[in-house]
Chain A
Amino acid sequence: MAFDGLPGLVEEKSAYGETTLVVDRPHLIEACMALRDEHGFDMLVDIAATDYLGWGSPGVSGYIGTAQGRNLNRPMTQGFQVLPAPKPKRFAVNYQLRAIRRGAPRVRVQLWVDDGESVPTVVEIWPGADWFEREVWDMMGIEVEGHPLHERLIMDEDWEGHPLRKDYPLGGEPVRFSGEE
């Protein structure tokens, strides 16, 4: 394998023609340094965090129509009848890397964290990570340790909550005197 010996490499996955390198948290910086300097990934294209809260449980993604939701993962429902593979932790932070060389591959570095855990900053490796990391904090609420300006980027400074989390309320105002109070 091309990425053998990468510091902190947990798993190398390949799907849809894309390579994903799962890296453990303490070695992220070392791994990124090695990818930039030894493997030539000189550009950080994107950082995308994903919240996997409720992954594979009924009524989260499959919910359409009824209040309780239908279990669309139940056998005999049409389409894809298997439950999705479980994820190790709640959040995945994906660093999309690219080398400015013709025919060079792309690679995705994936880091798994739980709620409350932070990720180390990669600003010193790729300065372009600055806003992407602030967006991860703003939208997903994953703290970026060592970031030189750890502030919200898109929402107001006094905003409560992190909108792209799966448990963030989806609009609407609470209904007064609805009987549940």
Chain B
Amino acid sequence: MAVTQRPPSQDPIYDGTRIPSPIPTVLEIDPSLRDTDDILTVNFGPNHPSMHGVLRLVLDLDGEVVVGVKAKVGYVHTGFEKNMEQKTWWKAITYAPRIDYVSFQNNELVFVLAVEKLLGIEIPPKATWMRMLLCELNRLHSHLVWLGTSALELGAISMFWYTFRERELVLDLSELVAGYRMHTRYFQTGGLAEDIPPGFYPECRKFVEWMPKAIDDYDALLRKNEIWEDRTRGLGLLSRADAIALGQTGPVLRASGVDWDLRRDEPYLFYDRVGFSVPVLPNGDTYDRYRIRIEEMRASVEIVEQCLDRLERMEGEPWTADDRKVVLPPREELHTSMESLIHHFKIVTEGYRVPEGEVYVAVESPRGELGCYVVSDGGPRPWRVKFRAPSFAALEATATVVQHGYVADLIAIVGSLDTVMGEVDR
């Protein structure tokens, strides 16, 4: 079956709005249908094998057509925000990456950036370049996981093996740098936790040379694959206006034709010093969300390459700020310097203090705008930490994108929003 592609234009994807009313996140079943015998109410999840994490969708089906949707979340609520209030600032950093366990490095970054904004501490350039490099590797990791699992759900099992092969390479690099494959806690207030180990640059170079070929392979497997096209083109539509109204960010927003990327439009780290393209596609369907992520992977490889070019020339430069009230002193000094020992003891036991204030910092995580709202009362522990999770907002669009689709397409559509439930429930 040939599927015609919409010509790229500024026409709306559909007229008016499809956001359900009065409850924007619940698609209510039509009252005339409700009393008929044809409606079947199905619990989809919370532990369906093809669900991304533990999401429960209560569906009303008319035959195979979805006529009512209600998403239920909260199954993996672990109280991260409450926990972080009980920990000192530097211990709370370990919690941040676990919130979104697929884009761990970006979560770590946003919390560290928020604390640094309150502290007003200056970060050495080497640390900033390395943060950028790891965040882009992490974007690759996240998109690889998304691509592999999404294709798997539509029956393309081999995609899963291919993407997880490259995901393994990313995690190996992570392990080489930080000792951990995931949840590295490699970023800390002031810079990095340790210097970049020898041997990282050549390994990363190898990866950067390999990765574009791998991305071409994925694209060759899926882009013109008839089954993939039939099951993604023109499905899960979200118009530009609806995407903005529902607070969508990241690939979902860009696939609906909104040219917006925080890395370019509100540059943090050194994103204003590297060149990269921001893909934008007009159709707002599942297929475009797939295309956006493929193109973003290519852009990420470019950024990693540019970071490497800079970092390779920075051998021997400091990797963390020289502020003994915030940053732990070098280990070897503890044996010779009383002051270092005192600083070490103070930071480890009591923690450092962060000036009073409230800040909101946002970064472009693989899923969209990841924000961190932090309140400090001037003490050694955060008063309030709130993560603005992009998946949380993306799931709000479920009722808008799945309506009147087939239940078989539901997984592809909800999957294309790329939600990580750990981040939704926190």
Contact B386 A148 (CB under 8 A): no
Say yes or no: A128 contacts B246, CB within 8 Å.
yes
- Report how far A48 CA is from B248 CA in the complex, Å: 17
Assess the B86–A170 pair: CB atoms within 8 A: yes
Tell me if B23 and A43 are in contact (CB < 8 A): no
- Contact check, A55 vs B377: say whether CB atoms are below 8 A apart: yes
Chain B residues closer than 8 Å to A127, beta-carbon distance: 19, 24, 245-246, 396
> Is A56 interfacial (CB 8 A cutoff)?
yes
One of A61, A80, A139 near B355 (C-beta < 8 A): A80
> Chain B: which residue is nearest A15 at the CB level?
B357
A132 to B356, CA, bound (A): 25
Contact of A130 among B24, B88, B358, B388 (CB under 8 A): B24
* Number of CB contacts from chain A to chain B under 8 A: 139
Cβ-closest chain A residue relative to B246: A128
A176–chain B nearest beta-carbon distance, Å? 25
Are B383's CB and A148's CB within 8 A?
no
**Residues B346-372 near A (CB distance < 8 A):** 346, 349-353, 355-360, 362, 369, 371
Alpha-carbon separation in the docked complex, A102 to B371 (Å)? 18
Within 8 A of A (CB), among B232-259: 244-249, 258
Chain A interface residue number, banded:
35 or more
A residues 96-145 near B (Cβ < 8 Å) are 96, 100, 102-103, 106, 108, 123, 126-132, 139
State whether A96 touches B360 (Cβ < 8 A): yes
B269 at the interface (CB under 8 A from A): no
Q: Which B residues are within 8 Å of any A CB, using their own CB? A: 19, 22-26, 73-74, 77, 79, 81-82, 86, 88, 117-118, 244-249, 258, 260, 265, 346, 349-353, 355-360, 362, 369, 371, 373, 375, 377-381, 383-384, 386, 388, 392-393, 395-396, 425-426
Q: Does chain B have a CB within 8 A of A10?
A: no
Among candidates A84, A126, A131, residue contacting B378 with C-beta atoms closer than 8 Å: A84
A51 at the interface (CB under 8 A from B): yes
Counting CB contacts under 8 A, is A16 at the interface? yes
Q: Contact partner of B77 among A42, A80, A155, CB < 8 A?
A: A155
Query: Known: A72-B380, A102-B265, A128-B246. Contact between A18 and B356, CB under 8 A?
Result: no
Neighbouring B residues of A6 by C-beta, 8 Å: none
Q: Give complex CA distance A79, B19 in Å.
A: 50
With A43-B244, A131-B25 given, can you name 6 additional A-B contacts, CB distance below 8 Å? A48-B373, A55-B383, A61-B380, A62-B379, A131-B393, A155-B74
CB of A164 within 8 Å of the partner chain? yes
The answer to whether A85 and B356 touch across the interface, beta carbons within 8 angstroms, is: yes
With A45-B369, A126-B247 given, is the CB distance from A163 to B79 under 8 Å? yes
Report B60 CB to chain A, min CB distance, Å: 16
The interface residues of chain A lying within 8 Å CB-to-CB of B379 are 61-62, 72-73, 80
* CB of B267 to closest CB in A, whole Å: 11
Q: Can you list 26 residue pairs at the A/B interface with Cβ under 8 Å?
A: A48-B384, A50-B386, A52-B383, A56-B377, A61-B380, A62-B379, A64-B88, A64-B350, A64-B351, A82-B356, A84-B356, A94-B360, A102-B265, A123-B22, A126-B245, A126-B247, A127-B396, A128-B246, A130-B24, A130-B25, A131-B395, A148-B23, A152-B74, A153-B74, A155-B77, A168-B82
Dominant secondary structure of chain A at its interface with chain B: loop
Q: Decide if A24 is an interface residue (CB 8 Å cutoff).
A: no
Whether B381 contacts A96 by the Cβ 8 Å rule is: no
Tell me the bound Cα distance from A15 to B356 in angstroms: 11
Closest to A154 in B: B74
Question: What's the least CB distance linking B332 to chain A, in Å?
Answer: 25
State in angstroms the CA–CA spacing of A55 and B358 once bound together: 14
Per-residue CB contact flags for chain A residues 71-91 toward chain B (1 = under 8 Å, else 0) read 011000011101011000000
Q: A64-B350, A130-B24, A154-B74 are in contact. Are A51 and B247 (CB under 8 A)?
A: no
Taking CB atoms, residues of chain B closer than 8 Å to A129 are 247
B82→A163 contact, CB < 8 A: yes
A46 at the interface (CB under 8 A from B): yes
A139 to chain B, nearest CB (A): 8
Contacts of A130 in B (CB 8 A): 23-25, 396
Q: Which residue of B lies closest to A52 (CB)?
A: B383
In the complex, what residues of B have CB within 8 A of residue A73's CB?
A: 378-379
Bound together, the chains give a CA A159 to CA B48 distance in angstroms of: 25
Does A128 lie within 8 Å of B378, measured CB to CB? no
Report B-chain residues with C-beta under 8 Å of the C-beta of A79.
Answer: 352-353, 378, 380
- Indicate whether A50 sits within 8 Å of B383 (C-beta atoms), given known contacts A80-B353, A100-B244: yes
Of B248, B360, B380, the contact of A106 (CB 8 Å cutoff) = B360
